[in-house]
Structure 1
Amino acid sequence: MKKKMMVMKTMVLIVMLMMVALAGMGADSAPVQFIFGDSLSDVGNNNYLTKGIARAALPWYGIDIGMGLPNGRFTNGRTIADIIGDYMGYPRPIAFMDQSLDVDAILKNGVNYASGGGGILNDTGQLFVQRFCFYKQIDLFQGTQKLVKEKIGSEAADKFFKEASYVVALGSNDYINNFLLPVYPDAWAYSSTGFTNLLISTLKDQLTLLHKLGARKLIFFGLGPMGCIPLERVMNTNYTCQDSVNKLAMSFNDNTKQLMQDLSAQLPNATFQFGDAYNEFADLIANPLKHGFSNADSPCCRLGRIRPSLTCTPASSLCKERSKYVFWDEYHPTEAANQVIANAIIKKLSFRPLNAPPSAAAAPSNNTASSPATTSVAPAGAPSSPTALSPASSTTTVPFIATPPAPTPSS
């Protein structure tokens, strides 16, 4: 009888210890990131939207990351959020739609909700059929919170989400795939100033909601010179940048920067920062040779002489040196250009790697693009080196394996 009582007491003690462990899970874990955005930050969500047409599911997307296979990133390698996260030492957030995502993965890596074609407004990107706009991404985040709270409890979950970092990178589609296309009602209903005001007021509500849900440390990536992407250039008779489009980006940036300052002052314990690299990106486009690039006006991946080719496909030909091109396709920068943009943001906001002593932060270098032959980038969800600013200084170098047939180089 005494032995049976001892066994029962032992079992009760074990159950109590397990409950305490579950309640504390995530409370002392390393901080993670939650990323919201469009195709500049998407790491695979759209690949699961089978009816959508904005997908990076075919070669040669992803040729310079991991095993060189398409992974949902709309570029040849890492995104801006990838590069900054790697430098800071954050684990790579897993795409929300990834089938391997569970609560343990959320607590360990965070989540990326970014969706190609998505925008601040719900109507943006309708031509792509399926995509997650910002309100939908926030809705998915709320579902994530519910799962975490069910596993570790409300108190630990609240602490976990308040200690996390948040990245928001949206706005370009609201102009390029909404306001600037006459098939959308907004193109006729608003002036340029009125439309930008609509974006800012909507964004204010969305970021205020994120704060209510726990976001305390947030960075918003500003827009680049959208009028200089290859798609906009090719629609200009003299193949130059469209200044009117660039002015929209600058107006949006000025208003968003002020919004971040206002929200930081108004919302309790909020540190909302504006990541601005417009001037650096514009200088890269205007003076590519100064930055070690050779081409800043046409895509590296294109379908022969057909322009605009819109997307990169297995039938496309690749430029000889991907690290020398500013643009990967008609819309998106190469990893090398993303590195320049990320470095500018890191420097302006004085970012330091997590757990680094105050004197450890060094000025980032732009001379860090991945080689076409090798890559050292960890797969999504893998922890990265806290001091890794470039592929050469992050995780173990892995030979690049080209599973698809070799592309035909073009000049």
Structure 2
Amino acid sequence: MVSRTVMKSSLLFLCFFIFFTLQLLEAQKPPAVYVFGDSLVDVGNNNYLPFSVEKAILPHYGIDFPTKKPTGRFTNGKNAADLIAEKLGLPTSPPYLSLLSKVHNSNKNMSFVSGVNFASGGAGIFNASDKGFMQSIPLQKQVDYYSQVHETLRQQVGASSLEKHLSKSIFIVVIGGNDIFGYFDSKDLQKKNTPQQYAVSMASTLKLQLQRLYNNGAKKFEVAGVGPIGCCPAYRLKNKTECVSAANDLSAKYNEALQTMLKEWQLEKRDISYSYFDTYAALQDLIYNSTSYGACCGLGELNAQIPCLPISSICSNRQDHVFWDAFHPTEAASRIFVDEIFKGPSKFISPINMEQLLAI
């Protein structure tokens, strides 16, 4: 039999272990998350753009969200921005335009200290990726908004406190897919740029915006590459259900240019840390191991001939689908991606994972 002394010692050790583990997790929790990007991480900003047609406001969007209602997220439930916040033990960073609306309505200063989401469905690295500024908030404008937030925070908490706060915060950047869609939708862009030239231009333009974030206090970055764009249901539909290789090739070229840029930028700025998520490899892995590569919500071949409208059919096994609609992943797929962002494996996340980024 185990003696009471041994049992007490074991329980005492367990209590100390739990206590110190919780202390460590709390110490690694960032004070805020600032999100920039497109529909993969938009949590409702486009709902506040009166002329935008890029809105996830129809049933069946949000069918698996806690409220069971559309929220402006382009998926069936939570997206990657929500799930990262969930992993960190933080509330989801609210959409910037919702906070701006509250400021205007109440005439009071709104605190942005707990994080803000600037992402916008349809947004690109290039300003004209959505064929009209009224439909989304391009990355340059998102960073403009952040600059305004930075100035407000500086006035509220002081320069020294803000510098420390932002140095521990996480800056998430998920963008680029719409620029690739834009390239293949534009004969003019294709005439003026080879795929390689376009990919390098995307990466160098993104660097300008990352530098602006750095100039305003950002030090820790989680940056996602683009997925195999040619394998989304909308593109498969154009190619007799096969992935479009040209779109995938451009995606791969951009991801390579992005990684090179990040490595060189870190050599220039020794005080930044970044984690790069290889969305291409992670999504490709899911697609190749899935029995269904069509959309969960839609109509026609691959459920992608007609968008996810109220009249559309929806699959019941949403946990088994990679794609929710013709372009966006399901919550289940996003959960897998976020798990990989936090813990690896290294073939999907480099040079460090999110947990290692937090510990710096």
Aligned to 2:287: 285
Question: What is the CA deviation profile of residues 35-62 of structure 1, one whole-angstrom value per residue up to 9, with x for unaligned ones?
Answer: 0000001000001112111111111111
Question: What is the CA deviation profile of residues 320-357 of structure 1, one whole-angstrom value per residue up to 9, with x for unaligned ones?
Answer: 2111111100000101111222222222244339999x
**Which amino acid is the alignment partner of residue 299 of structure 1?**
A
Aligned to 1:96: 96
Aligned to 1:299: 295
Distance verdict in 2 for CA 1:354–1:266, change over 3 Å:
closer
The reply on whether 1:71 has 2:71 as its aligned counterpart is yes
Aligned to 1:347: 343
Kindly state the Cα deviation for residue 105 of structure 1 after the two structures are TM-superposed: 4.7
Rounded Cα–Cα distance in structure 2 between residues aligned with 1:353 and 1:58: 39
Instruction: Check whether the contact 1:164–1:217 (CA below 8 A) recurs between aligned residues.
Output: yes
Aligned-residue sequence identity (percent) comes to 33
Instruction: Check whether the contact 1:304–1:316 (CA below 8 A) recurs between aligned residues.
Output: no
Rounded Cα–Cα distance in structure 2 between residues aligned with 1:159 and 1:266: 21
**Which amino acid is the alignment partner of residue 239 of structure 1?**
T
SS of 2:97's partner is: coil
Rounded Cα–Cα distance in structure 2 between residues aligned with 1:168 and 1:120: 11
Q: After the TM superposition, which residues 100-139 of structure 1 pair with which residues of structure 2 at under 5 Å, given as runs?
A: 100=102, 105-108=111-114, 110-126=115-131, 129-139=134-144
Aligned to 2:49: 49
Aligned to 2:323: 327
Instruction: Check whether the contact 2:80–2:335 (CA below 8 A) recurs between aligned residues.
Output: yes
The reply on whether 1:225 has 2:225 as its aligned counterpart is no
Aligned partner (choices 214, 238, 245) of residue 235 of structure 1: 238
Instruction: Check whether the contact 2:295–2:326 (CA below 8 A) recurs between aligned residues.
Output: yes
Instruction: Check whether the contact 1:62–1:68 (CA below 8 A) recurs between aligned residues.
Output: yes
TM-score by length of 1: 0.72
Distance verdict in 2 for CA 1:122–1:354, change over 3 Å:
closer
Aligned to 1:37: 37
Instruction: Check whether the contact 2:228–2:248 (CA below 8 A) recurs between aligned residues.
Output: yes
Kindly state the Cα deviation for residue 157 of structure 1 after the two structures are TM-superposed: 2.4
Rounded Cα–Cα distance in structure 2 between residues aligned with 1:84 and 1:65: 15
Rounded Cα–Cα distance in structure 2 between residues aligned with 1:319 and 1:308: 13
Kindly state the Cα deviation for residue 84 of structure 1 after the two structures are TM-superposed: 2.5
The reply on whether 1:140 has 2:142 as its aligned counterpart is no
Aligned to 2:273: 271
Instruction: Check whether the contact 1:65–1:76 (CA below 8 A) recurs between aligned residues.
Output: yes
Aligned partner (choices 168, 171, 178) of residue 173 of structure 2: 168
Aligned to 1:179: 183
Aligned to 1:393: none
Kindly state the Cα deviation for residue 246 of structure 1 after the two structures are TM-superposed: 1.0
Rounded Cα–Cα distance in structure 1 between residues aligned with 2:264 and 2:358: 29
**Which amino acid is the alignment partner of residue 286 of structure 2?**
L
Instruction: Check whether the contact 1:53–1:129 (CA below 8 A) recurs between aligned residues.
Output: no
Rounded Cα–Cα distance in structure 1 between residues aligned with 2:224 and 2:337: 10
Aligned to 1:151: 156
**Which amino acid is the alignment partner of residue 340 of structure 1?**
I
Aligned to 1:386: none
Gaps of 5+ in 2: 1-28, 345-351
Instruction: Check whether the contact 2:130–2:178 (CA below 8 A) recurs between aligned residues.
Output: yes
SS of 2:354's partner is: coil
Distance verdict in 2 for CA 1:267–1:255, change over 3 Å:
same
Instruction: Check whether the contact 1:231–1:310 (CA below 8 A) recurs between aligned residues.
Output: no
SS of 2:322's partner is: strand
**Which amino acid is the alignment partner of residue 222 of structure 1?**
G
Distance verdict in 2 for CA 1:281–1:167, change over 3 Å:
same
Rounded Cα–Cα distance in structure 2 between residues aligned with 1:181 and 1:355: 39
Aligned to 1:58: 58
Kindly state the Cα deviation for residue 311 of structure 1 after the two structures are TM-superposed: 3.5
Aligned to 1:405: none
SS of 1:274's partner is: strand
Aligned to 1:377: none
Rounded Cα–Cα distance in structure 2 between residues aligned with 1:152 and 1:229: 44
Distance verdict in 2 for CA 1:196–1:113, change over 3 Å:
same
Question: What is the CA deviation profile of residues 113-158 of structure 1, one whole-angstrom value per residue up to 9, with x for unaligned ones?
Answer: 0001101011111158421111000000011112222222233223
Distance verdict in 2 for CA 1:352–1:197, change over 3 Å:
closer
Kindly state the Cα deviation for residue 168 of structure 1 after the two structures are TM-superposed: 0.4
Greater helix share, structure number: 2
Kindly state the Cα deviation for residue 202 of structure 1 after the two structures are TM-superposed: 0.8
**Which amino acid is the alignment partner of residue 303 of structure 1?**
L
Rounded Cα–Cα distance in structure 1 between residues aligned with 2:163 and 2:331: 35
Question: What is the CA deviation profile of residues 66-111 of structure 1, one whole-angstrom value per residue up to 9, with x for unaligned ones?
Answer: 2111111100112123222321223310000114478655223x00
Gaps of 5+ in 1: 1-28, 289-293, 359-411
What is the Cα-based RMSD across aligned positions, in Å?
Answer: 2.4
Distance verdict in 2 for CA 1:83–1:72, change over 3 Å:
same
SS of 2:85's partner is: helix
Distance verdict in 2 for CA 1:103–1:338, change over 3 Å:
farther
Aligned to 2:249: 247
Instruction: Check whether the contact 1:230–1:331 (CA below 8 A) recurs between aligned residues.
Output: yes
Kindly state the Cα deviation for residue 207 of structure 1 after the two structures are TM-superposed: 1.0
Distance verdict in 2 for CA 1:69–1:36, change over 3 Å:
same
Q: Which has the larger radius of gyration?
A: 1
Kindly state the Cα deviation for residue 278 of structure 1 after the two structures are TM-superposed: 2.1
